[in-house]
Amino acid sequence: MTALGAALFYLPSITGNLDTFKAHDLGNVLQVILFFVVGLLTGWLRDRELRQQRLREQESELAAMGAAAACIAHDFKAPLVAIGGFVRLVRKTISDNEAAAAKLDIVIQQTQRLEDMVADILVFARPLKITRRRNSLNTLLSNTALLCAEKAESFNVELRLEYFREESYGDFDFDRLQQALINLIGNAIEACGKTGEVTVRGRHYSNGVLIEVEDTGAGIPAAIKERMFKPFVSGKEKGTGLGLPIVQKIVAAHGGTLTYCSAEHSGTIFTLMLPGVDPAPEKP
């Protein structure tokens, strides 16, 4: 700012006296311009260093948070599995008409929820390894839709599939990508509310494949749009905020990207772009 002020101050004295302009004046102008450029460059470098420092601090905090969460989740896992197992055994001995049955069903449901949360934390905190094998892309879509069909029916949501144009096979981790799609489809179903439509669409592009999950829900709340891929940020009342970060981690492990397009009252489209999956018509 100082350099800019000096340049603006000196400029009228030059332009107003062009007849008397000398080489000495030109040197002064060049010096001011150079000072101005150096000032801008220094300020830009300083701002970049501050941004990188803040990013490193955030990454360090997240790493520490993830390590602590993983430790806690690991210690919780065994007792939760034991509690859930014993409660399910007791439930089998009680008829549906008994008063304790409904209460035990609630305990089983909440224990399962805690087990799922622990599993999410462990997946997020640990290094992710994928095993690429030759698999059918359309089989991935059909099997995943089958697993999500019951949830879609319970929400009165129509689950539609648009397969890849031709039977294609790609090198990817079937279980991990299915995990990612189940998460996205489940979110899409819940976003529709009591009724709506979710479309899972497979498409080819020049460097790989795209898988889109589109819903007709209300869109992503503006309050979390910029932070939705950050851990522990959720728009759902009972969400852990780890679903989308895990999906992003799985997609990134395949060399891909996860993007979204969302508008208020117009639904949302999540797109998995997988350049690392090389589609081919031949079988494994």
DSSP string, 24-87: HHHHHHHHHHHHHHHHHHHHHHHHHHHHHHHHHHHHHHHHHHHHHHHHHHHHHHHHHHHHHHHH
How many CA atoms are closer than 13 Å to the CA of 120, on its beta-carbon side?
Answer: 19
Buried b (16+ CB within 10 A) or exposed e, 218-231: bbbeeeeeeebeeb
Is 133-274 assigned to CATH 3.65.10.10? no
Tell me the sheet residues that pair with 204.
209
Mean pLDDT of successive 10-residue segments in the chain (284 residues)? 52 53 62 74 80 71 64 70 84 85 85 76 75 92 94 93 85 92 93 91 87 91 77 66 85 91 85 75 53
* CA-only gyration radius of the chain, Å: 28
How many Å from the N-terminal Cα to the C-terminal Cα in the chain? 64
Contact (Cβ atoms closer than 8 angstroms) between residue 135 and residue 170? yes
Q: How, if at all, do strands 169-172 and 133-136 pair? A: antiparallel
Q: Which residues contact 3 (CB under 8 A, 6 or more apart)?
A: 32, 35, 36, 38, 39, 40
- Tell me what pLDDT residue 218 has: 84
How many CA atoms are closer than 13 Å to the CA of 262, on its beta-carbon side?
Answer: 21
Domain-by-domain residue ranges, the chain?
Answer: 1-126, 133-274
pTM reported for the whole predicted model: 0.63
Residue with tokens 């001995």: 93
CA distance 122 to 162: 33
CA distance 223 to 109: 30
Helix residue ranges per DSSP H, 93-173: 99-125, 137-154
- Tell me what pLDDT residue 210 has: 92
**H/E segment holding residue 248:** helix 243-253
Q: Which residues contact 60 (CB under 8 A, 6 or more apart)?
A: none
